[in-house]
Structure 1
């Protein structure tokens, strides 16, 4: 059996890089526990950034956590963002800077790219939502007011044409009528002139006098605040009435309209008929399922209000997204037009709990909630989670929520990290994070070494891998005594990305004296685990010097003869020249260990000698001194009954025991003096 000697490990702190940490860099301690705060965003960049080539842009990203975090930028693909001189640069404060540039130096892969900010530490990493850049290369532009047509007594629609290359950044602000009247957008109205929020101008009850009207539209560039007025004057053209009996026709209707949640939306549908204007009604197209009507008529009341040629939706919600139909009807027939409304929801996401600690082998559940119809995705340390035996994801829906539940089983060190849930739509994404920690656990040896028998001068490498929380410290023993490095023996240790502690002993040119029982011991404050194997190196026996051993009176002690060389045929023990054992309280095992049972100070202390015999009767002898100490014994004491306010005295008398002694008072099992 391998030797067993109780030796307290030295506690050291190791960072994820494997370098020895300075104590000042370690997390704070509370109630004996290390407090870690996973990486998180203090400032997360927005999902969409518009900028002009004359101003450039700066994407700000700040992170926090304990230990300190690192902030970096990557492309949406995960590749690191490279420095482009004079164009793109990562700043020391975590920001990503895009310098102003002339139009000829525009690069779509740089200025129109998609980026992510990454905040990481030894506890994991979190990634931001994708940041989409929308650069605007400043160019001059012209807007054109276009004529409207209508029969007498009906409505004409005038439009303001904005070139495609600036349409996303130019807003139509108002119309000028005959240079005297300014018309601004409103949701509803029955005045002669009505400007819609989308920029069109409706002229109602057209007469031949309207032919003399002159119309201009005004615009503003939202990035530069530049104001541009249409160059040509638009007019209203009065059409001759069509012959009676012809069905109505729809001459203009809203293009596909996109609004943000809580914004107001106005859909329009302008129809003409003869001899009078048609009656306009609105409906919403529904599912074609057999148990549901194909269309739903829309009437007054609620948040969707038909108003003749207009359909007004106040404080639009995602449920309003869909197809709407307008119907122009007269005695001669009807005409219809379909309009699509898309409402961009305001994304939000939450994950609970915000932090979870799971013991080794345990289970955990994380719940992610977002408004419908968002899609949900889980990441761990910035990488998409692969479900399998230990991780599963279940999706469910309520009337207005999308819910995703992540369940983890058989908790281990590799499952620690930062878990993120991303809620995404076609327009944006948001994320929330939760830190999953491995609870306090006893060390486990993940990798061990085997027995070796080698010739002299061979190179030897022994490797031991352990895992636990808190991170364990690995120590090495030779025949139960601490193994130290020297000019031929190197001992190294580092912590892997999975928080596995990897330690090794490398012997460059093994000699017989290096042989013996090699023990790898992993320990943290919750316990220790060890593994031993034999290293045999051919050669004559050589007993190594052995330090003094402390023994406690009344307990057992196992002594190991620290000897190298191979083969070893026999190990014998003696005390004061007498070969052991000499009684039933002494036992010598086949591996050469000496067991002393019920150690006594009077007879068990002193010098012991072990002699190893090898091939050709070659021998080697070494000595070890045993010092026996007597444990303390306290004489029992009694406490009487006292009244409140009285003084009491208690005497603790130690009737036996060797010095030095440490005295501690307890009350109800807790240190005295604590509440």
Structure 2
């Protein structure tokens, strides 16, 4: 029965009209009758002339009506997703704050209509309000108040949390969010004295205690209490080191200090003053002054691999990647401070080596660079509405760096395989539900995780009684031999049903007389037509449409009588059918 052939519409007749069933489904009651513009036969020769004059306009009105019906159908289908869930900030996975300031953290999930927002610990335990320490506001914001060191509790102030959003569509959960409070604690930064030969490079480093290295960064350097402006012989690296190129005797007359700032408390610290001892050139093999180690950087960012050396004669520097000289690439820039790579790509990962050489020897430093492409997850299908007893497959597609683990959740709870649910695939990237039941409805989420970074996607599944129902049909009518007519039957179900036709219990077969078409609209409505182009008396009888899917079937029938009526216009029956002989 399928096919994309457009339905053949019988010509309009002149007279009063009856109701016509709304194609949009069961919102309108079934009204049997002819389509708009389909009117009774002309009774006089004058009526016949009026009919012929108005025929083009009637056809135009009928086509406009069809287009309007289809446009209404499309608008209706877009309203299906009016209940939904969403993420405002799905990438939020770490929050560090100052204990003296506190933090307000809105739930990164939401929904329409308004969702119920709840916070949990990563263990799944509900969190409780602690007066003046922690509370969840009515709008779903997690509030952590400022606190003194004596009130510190790692269970509250250094833990993994997640938030959920729940409405009629289901329940989704955010990735785990690490929330950590940082204390205001005393610390000092210092700079060690350095030695360098005249004409070489000197490197000063700001030494920050390991306990606060994550939160404290170098913001500037001073020379004799005057801020150093990078340029000429003074350079600052992205790691906060100070480079002095082409060292001169007068550089030994100054003191050098670094200035640091705490990322969360905003406090600044000034180091001690360090001195530089400048020596006359003396023949010597290279000495590495600054180097790099293994590291991970996200794709699209820039990285600086420091490498510089002293010695006399001044050493030359050569860079290698995976044992071979660096290829020509505008993204790679060699500087006095080392190698800078911008707009990182995964293919930039590898082993990098810096060789420094002069006539008295050589040294090499090396390190492994890992370029990480952030994980991206796509879960399909999405927003699926289907019938109980269906078999469902979810596919979790993960892009980005290849090393990851996949986990599955339904309504924020971890999915455990059972007699209905199985998890398949090399990376557990396929979820199958067999003989799905009503309780399997809800929000399904796929999480991909790699070394603390997590990405997710979700899909809303609605399982319902998918037994087909006829939502629009045709009416009993009388037609003349040779007068084309079209019958329409529309049905809904989950999954969308297919429709077959019979005439007096015999299947309607496509041939030169019978043309059939069937299509399914975006909201799952299946529409089928039978077009009879030149009916004979034997083509009259009981026409039945039957809608079937895996959940069941529904049917509708009505009689179409084909017999000859007298024509007041004095023409043949074919005239009544809208054709000339």
Q: TM-score range by the shorter chain?
A: 0.5 to 0.7
Which residue in 2 is equivalent to 1:138?
184
Whether 2:475 is the aligned partner of 1:438: answer: no
Whether 2:449 is the aligned partner of 1:424: answer: yes
Distance 1:170 1:260, change over 3 A: farther
Q: Is contact 1:124-1:381 (8 Å) kept? A: yes
Q: Is contact 1:299-1:305 (8 Å) kept? A: no
Distance 1:165 1:260, change over 3 A: same
Larger Rg, first or second structure (1 or 2)? 1
Which residue in 1 is equivalent to 2:348?
320
Q: Is contact 1:58-1:95 (8 Å) kept? A: yes
Which residue in 2 is equivalent to 1:206?
247
Q: Is contact 1:298-1:306 (8 Å) kept? A: no
Give the unaligned 5+ runs of structure 2.
1-74, 469-492, 496-550, 554-558, 570-581
Which residue in 1 is equivalent to 2:366?
338
Q: Is contact 2:295-2:368 (8 Å) kept? A: yes
Q: Which of 368, 373, 398 is 2:397 aligned to?
A: 368
Secondary structure at 2:214 match in 1: helix
Which residue in 2 is equivalent to 1:381?
411
CA offsets 1:445-484 (integer angstroms, 9 cap, x no match): xxxxxxxxxxxxxxxxxxxxxxx989xxxxxxxxxxxxxx
With normalisation by structure 2, the TM-score equals 0.62
Q: How does 1:169-188 map to 2 (within 5 A)?
A: 169-180=215-226, 182-184=228-230
Q: How does 1:210-221 map to 2 (within 5 A)?
A: 210-221=251-262
CA offsets 1:152-191 (integer angstroms, 9 cap, x no match): 221111011223333222221222234456234xxxx7x3
Q: C-alpha separation between the residues in 2 aligned to 1:280 and 1:388?
A: 62
Q: How does 1:103-142 map to 2 (within 5 A)?
A: 103-121=149-167, 123-142=169-188
Q: Which of 45, 58, 64 is 2:104 aligned to?
A: 58
Could you tell me how far 1:45 is from its partner in structure 2? 7.8
Secondary structure at 2:455 match in 1: strand
Q: How does 1:98-497 map to 2 (within 5 A)?
A: 98-121=144-167, 123-180=169-226, 182-184=228-230, 191-230=232-271, 232-239=272-279, 244=284, 247-257=285-295, 259-273=297-311, 275-285=312-322, 295-307=323-335, 309-343=337-371, 345-359=373-387, 360-373=389-402, 375=404, 376-387=406-417, 390-395=421-426, 404-442=429-467
Could you tell me how far 1:267 is from its partner in structure 2? 1.1
Q: C-alpha separation between the residues in 2 aligned to 1:426 and 1:81?
A: 26
Q: Is contact 1:83-1:90 (8 Å) kept? A: yes
Q: C-alpha separation between the residues in 2 aligned to 1:220 and 1:164?
A: 15
Could you tell me how far 1:110 is from its partner in structure 2? 0.8
Could you tell me how far 1:125 is from its partner in structure 2? 1.8
Q: C-alpha separation between the residues in 2 aligned to 1:388 and 1:258?
A: 39
Q: Is contact 2:396-2:429 (8 Å) kept? A: yes
Could you tell me how far 1:634 is from its partner in structure 2? 13
Distance 1:112 1:152, change over 3 A: same
Distance 1:155 1:45, change over 3 A: closer
Secondary structure at 1:210 match in 2: helix
Distance 1:345 1:364, change over 3 A: closer
Secondary structure at 1:183 match in 2: coil
CA offsets 1:504-534 (integer angstroms, 9 cap, x no match): xxxxxxxxxxxxxxxxxxxxxx989xxxxxx
Q: C-alpha separation between the residues in 2 aligned to 1:84 and 1:639?
A: 88
Q: C-alpha separation between the residues in 1 aligned to 2:329 and 2:438?
A: 59
Secondary structure at 2:365 match in 1: strand
Q: C-alpha separation between the residues in 2 aligned to 1:423 and 1:431?
A: 6
Secondary structure at 1:366 match in 2: strand
Could you tell me how far 1:112 is from its partner in structure 2? 0.7
Which residue in 2 is equivalent to 1:77?
123
Q: C-alpha separation between the residues in 1 aligned to 2:347 and 2:127?
A: 39
Secondary structure at 1:324 match in 2: strand
Aligned residues: 409
Q: C-alpha separation between the residues in 1 aligned to 2:331 and 2:178?
A: 33
CA offsets 1:229-267 (integer angstroms, 9 cap, x no match): 32x2222222465555xx433233135555444332111
Give the unaligned 5+ runs of structure 1.
1-28, 286-294, 397-402, 444-467, 471-525, 529-632, 644-675
Secondary structure at 1:349 match in 2: strand
Q: C-alpha separation between the residues in 2 aligned to 1:43 and 1:267?
A: 32
Q: Is contact 1:45-1:131 (8 Å) kept? A: no
Q: Which structure carries more relative contact order (alpha carbon 8 Å, separation 6+)?
A: 2
Q: Is contact 1:45-1:60 (8 Å) kept? A: no
Q: Is contact 2:111-2:165 (8 Å) kept? A: no
CA offsets 1:53-109 (integer angstroms, 9 cap, x no match): 111112211654467632211111111112223211122211111111012211112
Q: C-alpha separation between the residues in 1 aligned to 2:257 and 2:566?
A: 104
Q: C-alpha separation between the residues in 2 aligned to 1:124 and 1:322?
A: 44
Could you tell me how far 1:638 is from its partner in structure 2? 8.8
Distance 1:36 1:527, change over 3 A: farther
Q: C-alpha separation between the residues in 2 aligned to 1:96 and 1:377?
A: 26
Which residue in 1 is equivalent to 2:136?
90
Q: C-alpha separation between the residues in 2 aligned to 1:364 and 1:358?
A: 12
Q: How does 1:610-625 map to 2 (within 5 A)?
A: none
Could you tell me how far 1:51 is from its partner in structure 2? 1.0
With normalisation by structure 1, the TM-score equals 0.54
Q: C-alpha separation between the residues in 1 aligned to 2:198 and 2:300?
A: 38
